[in-house]
Structure 1
Amino acid sequence: MSKENIKVCLVGSSGGHLTHLYMLKPFWQNKDRFWVTFDKEDARSKLKGERFYPCYYPTNRNLKNLIKNTFLAIKVLRKEKPDLIISSGAAVAAPFFYIGKMMGAKLVYIEVFDRYDKPTVTGKLVYPITDKFIVEWEEMKQVYPKAINLGSIF
Protein backbone atom coordinates (compact mmCIF):
# COMPACT_ATOMS: atom_id res chain seq x y z
CA MET A 1 0.00 0.00 0.00
CA SER A 2 1.41 3.37 -0.98
CA LYS A 3 1.37 6.34 1.36
CA GLU A 4 -1.26 7.97 -0.87
CA ASN A 5 -3.68 5.03 -0.59
CA ILE A 6 -3.95 4.88 3.19
CA LYS A 7 -7.18 5.54 5.02
CA VAL A 8 -6.83 8.07 7.82
CA CYS A 9 -8.98 8.66 10.89
CA LEU A 10 -8.58 12.13 12.42
CA VAL A 11 -10.04 12.15 15.91
CA GLY A 12 -10.22 14.89 18.50
CA SER A 13 -12.29 17.40 20.38
CA SER A 14 -13.67 20.37 18.49
CA GLY A 15 -12.12 23.78 18.98
CA GLY A 16 -8.34 23.96 19.24
CA HIS A 17 -7.76 20.22 18.89
CA LEU A 18 -9.75 20.14 15.66
CA THR A 19 -7.92 23.22 14.38
CA HIS A 20 -4.63 21.50 15.17
CA LEU A 21 -5.62 18.47 13.09
CA TYR A 22 -7.01 20.63 10.31
CA MET A 23 -3.63 22.34 9.99
CA LEU A 24 -2.25 19.00 8.81
CA LYS A 25 -4.23 19.44 5.59
CA PRO A 26 -1.16 19.15 3.33
CA PHE A 27 -0.80 15.60 4.68
CA TRP A 28 -4.44 14.41 4.67
CA GLN A 29 -6.01 16.34 1.80
CA ASN A 30 -5.31 13.70 -0.85
CA LYS A 31 -6.07 10.69 1.36
CA ASP A 32 -9.21 8.71 2.06
CA ARG A 33 -10.13 10.17 5.45
CA PHE A 34 -12.82 10.57 8.03
CA TRP A 35 -13.19 12.64 11.18
CA VAL A 36 -14.48 11.96 14.68
CA THR A 37 -15.24 15.03 16.76
CA PHE A 38 -17.96 16.85 18.67
CA ASP A 39 -21.08 17.84 16.75
CA LYS A 40 -20.64 21.55 17.36
CA GLU A 41 -20.92 24.55 15.08
CA ASP A 42 -17.15 25.00 14.60
CA ALA A 43 -16.75 21.34 13.59
CA ARG A 44 -19.73 21.37 11.22
CA SER A 45 -18.39 24.54 9.60
CA LYS A 46 -14.77 23.42 9.33
CA LEU A 47 -15.64 19.89 8.16
CA LYS A 48 -18.33 20.80 5.64
CA GLY A 49 -18.14 18.21 2.88
CA GLU A 50 -15.94 15.87 4.95
CA ARG A 51 -16.99 12.44 6.26
CA PHE A 52 -17.54 13.01 9.96
CA TYR A 53 -18.80 10.94 12.88
CA PRO A 54 -20.06 12.87 15.91
CA CYS A 55 -18.82 11.62 19.26
CA TYR A 56 -20.23 12.11 22.74
CA TYR A 57 -19.23 15.04 24.91
CA PRO A 58 -18.29 16.31 27.41
CA THR A 59 -15.43 13.85 27.60
CA ASN A 60 -13.17 15.03 30.40
CA ARG A 61 -13.76 13.02 33.55
CA ASN A 62 -17.06 11.72 32.17
CA LEU A 63 -17.22 7.94 32.53
CA LYS A 64 -20.60 7.64 30.82
CA ASN A 65 -19.34 9.33 27.64
CA LEU A 66 -16.06 7.40 27.77
CA ILE A 67 -18.09 4.18 27.63
CA LYS A 68 -20.32 5.54 24.86
CA ASN A 69 -17.27 6.70 22.86
CA THR A 70 -15.64 3.29 23.31
CA PHE A 71 -18.66 1.62 21.71
CA LEU A 72 -18.65 4.32 19.03
CA ALA A 73 -14.97 3.59 18.36
CA ILE A 74 -15.69 -0.11 17.93
CA LYS A 75 -18.56 0.62 15.52
CA VAL A 76 -16.78 3.29 13.45
CA LEU A 77 -13.40 1.55 13.28
CA ARG A 78 -14.98 -1.77 12.27
CA LYS A 79 -16.85 0.00 9.48
CA GLU A 80 -14.05 2.27 8.24
CA LYS A 81 -10.94 0.12 8.93
CA PRO A 82 -8.40 2.98 8.94
CA ASP A 83 -4.72 2.30 8.41
CA LEU A 84 -3.71 5.34 10.47
CA ILE A 85 -5.31 7.22 13.37
CA ILE A 86 -4.08 10.72 14.17
CA SER A 87 -5.06 12.85 17.16
CA SER A 88 -3.97 15.85 19.17
CA GLY A 89 -6.49 15.11 21.92
CA ALA A 90 -8.42 15.31 23.96
CA ALA A 91 -10.18 12.48 25.80
CA VAL A 92 -12.14 11.12 22.83
CA ALA A 93 -8.82 10.02 21.30
CA ALA A 94 -8.14 7.38 23.97
CA PRO A 95 -10.85 4.84 23.05
CA PHE A 96 -10.13 5.28 19.34
CA PHE A 97 -6.42 4.70 19.92
CA TYR A 98 -6.86 1.60 22.08
CA ILE A 99 -9.52 0.01 19.86
CA GLY A 100 -7.59 1.05 16.75
CA LYS A 101 -4.40 -0.52 18.05
CA MET A 102 -6.22 -3.81 18.61
CA MET A 103 -7.48 -3.62 15.02
CA GLY A 104 -3.99 -3.06 13.59
CA ALA A 105 -4.06 0.68 12.87
CA LYS A 106 -0.92 2.77 13.22
CA LEU A 107 -1.24 5.56 15.79
CA VAL A 108 0.19 9.10 15.71
CA TYR A 109 -0.43 11.42 18.61
CA ILE A 110 0.54 15.11 18.59
CA GLU A 111 0.81 16.66 22.04
CA VAL A 112 -0.79 20.08 21.99
CA PHE A 113 1.26 23.22 21.46
CA ASP A 114 0.40 24.84 24.78
CA ARG A 115 2.05 22.00 26.70
CA TYR A 116 5.75 22.65 26.90
CA ASP A 117 6.72 21.02 30.21
CA LYS A 118 3.81 18.89 31.50
CA PRO A 119 1.87 16.08 29.85
CA THR A 120 -1.83 16.09 29.12
CA VAL A 121 -3.95 13.30 30.58
CA THR A 122 -4.69 11.95 27.10
CA GLY A 123 -1.02 12.13 26.14
CA LYS A 124 -0.09 10.06 29.18
CA LEU A 125 -2.83 7.51 28.40
CA VAL A 126 -1.87 6.93 24.76
CA TYR A 127 1.92 7.39 24.91
CA PRO A 128 2.62 3.69 25.66
CA ILE A 129 0.78 2.46 22.55
CA THR A 130 1.52 5.10 19.90
CA ASP A 131 3.67 4.35 16.89
CA LYS A 132 4.77 7.98 16.70
CA PHE A 133 4.39 10.49 19.51
CA ILE A 134 5.04 14.04 18.40
CA VAL A 135 5.81 17.05 20.56
CA GLU A 136 6.22 20.67 19.56
CA TRP A 137 8.72 21.72 22.23
CA GLU A 138 12.14 20.22 22.93
CA GLU A 139 11.41 20.41 26.67
CA MET A 140 8.64 17.85 26.20
CA LYS A 141 11.21 15.19 25.35
CA GLN A 142 11.98 15.19 29.09
CA VAL A 143 8.35 14.17 29.67
CA TYR A 144 8.08 11.79 26.69
CA PRO A 145 11.58 10.39 25.97
CA LYS A 146 10.52 8.45 22.83
CA ALA A 147 8.79 11.50 21.33
CA ILE A 148 9.81 13.22 18.12
CA ASN A 149 10.07 17.01 18.24
CA LEU A 150 8.79 18.39 14.94
CA GLY A 151 8.43 21.91 16.24
CA SER A 152 5.30 23.98 15.95
CA ILE A 153 2.69 23.18 13.33
CA PHE A 154 1.14 26.64 13.83
Structure 2
Amino acid sequence: MAMVYVVVGIAVFCSLLLAVRFFYTKRARAPQNASVSLLVVAGSGGHTTEILRLLGSLSQSYSPRHYVLADSDKMSEDKIRSFEQKRAELSPSSSFTLNRIPRSREVRQSWSSSVLTTIRSIFYSLPLTFRLKPDLVLCNGPGTCVPICISALLLRLLGLKRVTIVYVESICRVENLSLSGKILYYFSNHFFVQWPTLKEKYPKSHYLGRIV
Protein backbone atom coordinates (compact mmCIF):
# COMPACT_ATOMS: atom_id res chain seq x y z
CA MET A 1 0.00 0.00 0.00
CA ALA A 2 2.86 2.35 0.83
CA MET A 3 4.29 1.85 -2.66
CA VAL A 4 0.97 2.95 -4.14
CA TYR A 5 1.33 6.24 -2.28
CA VAL A 6 4.83 6.62 -3.70
CA VAL A 7 3.60 6.11 -7.27
CA VAL A 8 0.67 8.47 -6.76
CA GLY A 9 2.97 11.03 -5.15
CA ILE A 10 5.38 10.88 -8.08
CA ALA A 11 2.51 11.27 -10.54
CA VAL A 12 1.10 14.29 -8.71
CA PHE A 13 4.55 15.83 -8.32
CA CYS A 14 5.33 15.46 -12.01
CA SER A 15 1.89 16.78 -12.98
CA LEU A 16 2.49 19.93 -10.99
CA LEU A 17 5.82 20.42 -12.69
CA LEU A 18 4.13 20.46 -16.07
CA ALA A 19 3.16 24.03 -15.22
CA VAL A 20 6.76 25.13 -15.78
CA ARG A 21 6.89 23.92 -19.37
CA PHE A 22 6.62 27.49 -20.64
CA PHE A 23 10.23 27.99 -19.49
CA TYR A 24 11.38 25.76 -22.35
CA THR A 25 13.64 27.48 -24.83
CA LYS A 26 14.10 26.33 -28.40
CA ARG A 27 17.43 24.67 -29.04
CA ALA A 28 19.08 23.92 -32.35
CA ARG A 29 19.18 20.25 -33.21
CA ALA A 30 22.55 18.61 -32.92
CA PRO A 31 24.17 17.25 -36.07
CA GLN A 32 23.51 13.60 -36.79
CA ASN A 33 27.17 12.72 -36.21
CA ALA A 34 27.33 14.54 -32.84
CA SER A 35 28.16 12.55 -29.73
CA VAL A 36 25.35 11.59 -27.37
CA SER A 37 25.95 11.84 -23.64
CA LEU A 38 24.50 8.63 -22.23
CA LEU A 39 23.52 7.88 -18.65
CA VAL A 40 23.16 4.14 -18.07
CA VAL A 41 21.55 2.68 -14.96
CA ALA A 42 23.12 -0.66 -14.13
CA GLY A 43 21.37 -3.09 -11.81
CA SER A 44 22.88 -6.08 -10.11
CA GLY A 45 23.16 -9.50 -11.72
CA GLY A 46 21.18 -10.06 -14.90
CA HIS A 47 20.20 -6.42 -15.27
CA THR A 48 23.82 -5.38 -15.79
CA THR A 49 24.48 -8.24 -18.19
CA GLU A 50 21.46 -7.29 -20.31
CA ILE A 51 22.23 -3.57 -20.38
CA LEU A 52 25.84 -4.21 -21.43
CA ARG A 53 24.68 -6.44 -24.28
CA LEU A 54 22.42 -3.63 -25.40
CA LEU A 55 25.28 -1.10 -25.18
CA GLY A 56 27.41 -3.40 -27.29
CA SER A 57 25.08 -2.77 -30.22
CA LEU A 58 25.34 1.03 -29.97
CA SER A 59 27.76 3.07 -32.05
CA GLN A 60 30.80 4.88 -30.70
CA SER A 61 28.91 8.17 -30.92
CA TYR A 62 27.24 7.32 -27.59
CA SER A 63 29.96 8.88 -25.48
CA PRO A 64 30.67 9.70 -22.75
CA ARG A 65 28.81 6.92 -20.98
CA HIS A 66 27.95 7.65 -17.36
CA TYR A 67 27.10 4.52 -15.40
CA VAL A 68 25.01 4.71 -12.22
CA LEU A 69 25.21 1.81 -9.77
CA ALA A 70 23.72 1.14 -6.38
CA ASP A 71 26.27 1.59 -3.62
CA SER A 72 25.61 -1.97 -2.42
CA ASP A 73 26.25 -3.47 -5.87
CA LYS A 74 29.69 -5.09 -5.69
CA MET A 75 29.77 -7.03 -8.97
CA SER A 76 28.53 -4.68 -11.68
CA GLU A 77 31.61 -2.44 -11.58
CA ASP A 78 33.89 -5.30 -12.67
CA LYS A 79 31.54 -6.17 -15.55
CA ILE A 80 31.40 -2.55 -16.69
CA ARG A 81 35.16 -2.05 -16.53
CA SER A 82 35.71 -5.23 -18.54
CA PHE A 83 33.16 -4.10 -21.13
CA GLU A 84 34.71 -0.63 -21.40
CA GLN A 85 38.22 -2.03 -21.67
CA LYS A 86 37.21 -4.02 -24.76
CA ARG A 87 35.39 -1.01 -26.17
CA ALA A 88 38.47 1.18 -25.68
CA GLU A 89 40.44 -1.16 -27.95
CA LEU A 90 38.09 -0.17 -30.79
CA SER A 91 37.82 3.49 -29.86
CA PRO A 92 40.62 4.88 -27.65
CA SER A 93 38.81 8.22 -27.36
CA SER A 94 35.76 6.57 -25.81
CA SER A 95 35.15 7.64 -22.21
CA PHE A 96 33.01 6.59 -19.27
CA THR A 97 32.43 7.34 -15.60
CA LEU A 98 31.17 5.27 -12.68
CA ASN A 99 28.78 6.84 -10.18
CA ARG A 100 27.08 5.36 -7.15
CA ILE A 101 23.87 6.25 -5.34
CA PRO A 102 21.99 4.53 -2.50
CA ARG A 103 19.79 1.69 -3.66
CA SER A 104 16.12 2.68 -3.60
CA ARG A 105 14.95 -0.80 -2.60
CA GLU A 106 16.80 -3.94 -1.62
CA VAL A 107 15.55 -7.42 -2.49
CA ARG A 108 12.79 -8.48 -0.08
CA GLN A 109 12.78 -5.06 1.57
CA SER A 110 9.39 -4.11 3.01
CA TRP A 111 7.26 -1.63 1.08
CA SER A 112 6.97 0.72 4.03
CA SER A 113 10.71 1.06 4.54
CA SER A 114 11.33 1.32 0.79
CA VAL A 115 9.47 4.67 0.77
CA LEU A 116 12.21 6.25 2.88
CA THR A 117 15.08 4.62 0.99
CA THR A 118 13.58 5.73 -2.34
CA ILE A 119 13.35 9.32 -1.15
CA ARG A 120 16.94 9.12 0.06
CA SER A 121 18.03 7.79 -3.33
CA ILE A 122 16.24 10.67 -5.09
CA PHE A 123 18.18 13.21 -3.03
CA TYR A 124 21.42 11.64 -4.24
CA SER A 125 20.20 11.28 -7.82
CA LEU A 126 19.15 14.89 -8.32
CA PRO A 127 22.58 16.58 -7.99
CA LEU A 128 24.24 13.78 -9.97
CA THR A 129 21.81 13.97 -12.90
CA PHE A 130 21.78 17.76 -12.89
CA ARG A 131 25.59 17.79 -12.99
CA LEU A 132 25.92 15.24 -15.81
CA LYS A 133 23.00 16.58 -17.87
CA PRO A 134 22.82 13.54 -20.17
CA ASP A 135 21.15 13.57 -23.58
CA LEU A 136 19.77 10.08 -23.05
CA VAL A 137 18.96 7.90 -20.03
CA LEU A 138 18.93 4.16 -20.69
CA CYS A 139 17.65 1.65 -18.14
CA ASN A 140 16.17 -1.82 -17.96
CA GLY A 141 14.42 -2.28 -14.67
CA PRO A 142 16.56 -2.06 -11.51
CA GLY A 143 14.94 -0.03 -8.74
CA THR A 144 17.84 2.42 -8.89
CA CYS A 145 16.59 3.67 -12.25
CA VAL A 146 13.41 5.24 -10.86
CA PRO A 147 15.13 8.05 -8.87
CA ILE A 148 17.46 8.71 -11.83
CA CYS A 149 14.57 8.94 -14.29
CA ILE A 150 12.64 11.24 -11.95
CA SER A 151 15.70 13.51 -11.87
CA ALA A 152 16.01 13.40 -15.66
CA LEU A 153 12.32 14.23 -15.96
CA LEU A 154 12.85 17.28 -13.77
CA LEU A 155 15.66 18.44 -16.03
CA ARG A 156 13.29 18.21 -18.97
CA LEU A 157 10.31 19.83 -17.27
CA LEU A 158 12.38 22.71 -15.91
CA GLY A 159 13.76 23.39 -19.36
CA LEU A 160 17.36 22.79 -18.29
CA LYS A 161 18.00 19.90 -20.70
CA ARG A 162 15.89 17.89 -23.11
CA VAL A 163 16.64 14.44 -21.76
CA THR A 164 15.24 11.39 -23.55
CA ILE A 165 14.33 8.46 -21.29
CA VAL A 166 14.48 5.01 -22.88
CA TYR A 167 13.28 2.03 -20.86
CA VAL A 168 13.87 -1.55 -21.99
CA GLU A 169 12.01 -4.09 -19.88
CA SER A 170 14.06 -7.12 -18.90
CA ILE A 171 13.78 -10.27 -21.02
CA CYS A 172 12.69 -12.18 -17.91
CA ARG A 173 9.46 -10.17 -17.75
CA VAL A 174 7.09 -12.23 -19.89
CA GLU A 175 3.57 -11.51 -18.64
CA ASN A 176 3.89 -8.60 -16.21
CA LEU A 177 6.08 -5.51 -15.96
CA SER A 178 8.53 -5.01 -13.13
CA LEU A 179 7.65 -2.41 -10.52
CA SER A 180 10.09 0.01 -12.17
CA GLY A 181 8.44 -0.68 -15.52
CA LYS A 182 4.96 -0.02 -14.13
CA ILE A 183 6.11 3.40 -12.92
CA LEU A 184 8.23 4.46 -15.90
CA TYR A 185 5.70 3.24 -18.45
CA TYR A 186 3.97 6.59 -17.96
CA PHE A 187 7.06 8.82 -17.93
CA SER A 188 9.55 7.36 -20.42
CA ASN A 189 9.83 8.66 -23.99
CA HIS A 190 10.34 5.18 -25.44
CA PHE A 191 9.27 2.01 -23.64
CA PHE A 192 10.37 -1.36 -25.06
CA VAL A 193 9.18 -4.84 -24.15
CA GLN A 194 10.58 -8.14 -25.38
CA TRP A 195 7.45 -10.29 -25.34
CA PRO A 196 4.25 -9.85 -27.40
CA THR A 197 2.07 -10.57 -24.35
CA LEU A 198 3.36 -7.37 -22.73
CA LYS A 199 2.73 -5.37 -25.88
CA GLU A 200 -0.91 -6.47 -25.76
CA LYS A 201 -1.26 -5.35 -22.15
CA TYR A 202 0.66 -2.11 -22.55
CA PRO A 203 -0.16 -0.56 -25.95
CA LYS A 204 2.19 2.40 -25.49
CA SER A 205 5.16 0.03 -25.48
CA HIS A 206 7.24 -0.96 -28.50
CA TYR A 207 7.80 -4.64 -29.32
CA LEU A 208 10.73 -5.49 -31.57
CA GLY A 209 11.26 -9.08 -30.50
CA ARG A 210 14.24 -10.02 -28.37
CA ILE A 211 16.55 -7.02 -28.03
CA VAL A 212 19.27 -8.41 -25.77
Fold equivalence (TM over 0.5): yes
User: What is the Cα-based RMSD across aligned positions, in Å?
Assistant: 1.8
Structure 2: gaps spanning 5 or more residues: 1-29, 85-95, 157-162
Q: Deviations over 1:44-92 (max 9, x none)?
A: 2112264111122361442332122101211111110001101001211
Where in structure 1 do 4 or more consecutive aligned residues deviate above 4 Å? none
Matches within 5 A, 1:20-39: 20-24=50-54, 25-27=56-58, 29-31=60-62, 32-39=64-71
Aligned counterpart, 1:118: 176
Change (3 A) 1:3 1:38: farther
Higher helix share: 2
Listed as ranges, the gaps of 5+ residues in structure 1 are none
Equivalent residues of 1:12, 1:36 under 8 A apart? yes
Deviation sequence 1:11-52 (CA, Å, 0-9, x none): 132211111110112216542111111343321211226411
Q: What is the one-letter code of the residue matched to 2:210?
A: S
Provide the rounded CA distance (Å) in 2 between the counterparts of 1:7 and 1:28. Answer: 12
Report which of the two has the higher share of strand.
1
Alignment of 1:1-154 (within 5 A): 1=30, 2=32, 4-24=34-54, 25-27=56-58, 29-31=60-62, 32-39=64-71, 40-48=73-81, 50-57=96-103, 59-60=105-106, 61=111, 62-104=114-156, 105-154=163-212
Q: Percent of aligned pairs with the same residue? A: 24
TM-score by structure 1 length?
Answer: 0.90
